[in-house]
Amino acid sequence: MSGRSESDIEWNGASTTGVREVLVVGGGVAGLTAALFTARAGLDTLVVNHGESILRRNAHLENFPGFPAGVNPRLFADMLEAQTTRNGVDHRTGRVAGLEHFESADGEGDGASGDDASGPGFVATVGSAEGDDTHEVAAERVVVASWSDVDYLDGLDVDLREAGSKTYVDEDGFGRTSVAGLYVAGRSAERYHQAIVSAGHGAEVGITLVHDSETPFYHDWVTPEGYFTDRGREVPPGCEEVSETERRARERESMAAMREYFSELHAERQRTHPSLVEDEVGRVEEE
């Protein structure tokens, strides 16, 4: 398939030359965690999400570390999305209907072509939430985290694996697919269908993408003041040293946020499998 030119790309009907560094397709646990790490590394990251994460159908999330008595899965999903927004991730509601190579404005190729790729790589056709119109988004790199929809990859020569009614995207163990600049995270990569596994794989894929982009990065750590510098080392890229005053301020802020999140029962209705109720997202009738 021939590449698209930069001047063709539109968002909300307006032509734009802006190219995202990272586009994440899917706003479940894997996609949001990948986006969290790419954004914290300084990459301009957009998540496009359609529908709801299957996590929201759970009655109670009881096997995610850090919540001794479990947590409302819809609250957990809200908290994760808020965390990504706080760290610079942009969000759009819409369904990616197609993905193809993006040809740079100088016509010198199809963008990303390996670990040292620096040019635009892909253009995604995104349908609006209402389905009335489409927009286009260009990105240097794309993370597929849209279980179970991968039909939009038909325009790319990416290796897929059929398993009965399910389709998985082949990857190298770190989320890299057979198409340079295209990554896959979570259930679409045939990882176990557990929130903690999706989070871990999303983080791994996000960090892999950061390294492949040649963004200076060591670890995503917040350390006490002097952790590196008192040993005669510069603070590595991706790390931060904070004073005791700053550490306490952040702790107080986090405590206040958690008190607010857990101050009352989550208002969103319980979900179930959509085939069991007359509701497109499986909302159970309130008693």
Half-sphere exposure of 173 (CA within 13 A, CB side): 0
Pairing status of strand 20-25 against strand 134-144: parallel
Mean pLDDT across 53-61 = 95
Residue that wins the pLDDT comparison between 134 and 30? 30
Among candidates 150, 143, 199, which has minimal Cα distance to 176?
A: 143
Contact yes or no for 126/96 (Cβ under 8 A): yes
- Would you state the pLDDT for residue 287? 65
Contact yes or no for 137/100 (Cβ under 8 A): no
Task: In whole angstroms, give the CA distance from residue 121 to residue 169.
Answer: 18
Residue 114 has pLDDT above 80, yes or no: no
Residue 253 has pLDDT above 60, yes or no: yes
Give, for 204, the enclosing helix (H) or strand (E): helix 195-212
Pairing status of strand 10-11 against strand 14-15: antiparallel
Mean pLDDT across 120-143 = 88
Confidence bin at 14 (pLDDT 50/70/90): very low
Query: DSSP 3-state assignment of 112?
Result: coil
pLDDT tens digits for range 58-111: 999 999 999 999 999 999 999 999 999 999 999 999 999 999 997 655 444 444
Q: Which residues make beta-bridge pairs with 184?
A: 144
For CATH 3.50.50.60, the residue range(s) in the chain are 6-216
- Would you state the pLDDT for residue 118? 43
Mean of pLDDT over the chain:
89
Among candidates 201, 178, 180, which has minimal Cα distance to 29?
A: 201
- Would you state the pLDDT for residue 89? 98
Contact yes or no for 44/24 (Cβ under 8 A): no
Task: In whole angstroms, give the CA distance from residue 99 to residue 46.
Answer: 15
Mean pLDDT across 179-207 = 98
> Quick one: DSSP state of residue 48?
E
pLDDT tens digits for range 132-186: 789 899 999 999 999 888 999 999 999 999 999 999 999 999 999 999 999 999 9
E runs forming strands in 29-175:
45-49, 90-93, 95-101, 122-127, 134-144, 160-163, 166-169
User: Right CATH number for 6-216 from 3.40.50.720, 3.50.50.60, 3.50.30.60, 3.20.20.70?
Assistant: 3.50.50.60
- Would you state the pLDDT for residue 216? 97
Specify the pTM.
Answer: 0.89
pLDDT tens digits for range 220-242: 999 999 999 999 999 999 999 99
- Would you state the pLDDT for residue 104? 54
Task: In whole angstroms, give the CA distance from residue 280 to residue 63.
Answer: 27
Angle, helices 73-86 vs 29-40, to 10°: value is 20
- Would you state the pLDDT for residue 116? 41
Structure tokens at 18: 């802006």
- Would you state the pLDDT for residue 51? 84
The angle formed by the CA atoms of residues 93, 207 and 203, to the nearest 5 degrees, is 60
> Quick one: DSSP state of residue 90?
E
- The CA-atom distances, in angstroms, between 238 and each of 68, 125, 149, 209 are 30, 32, 33, 14
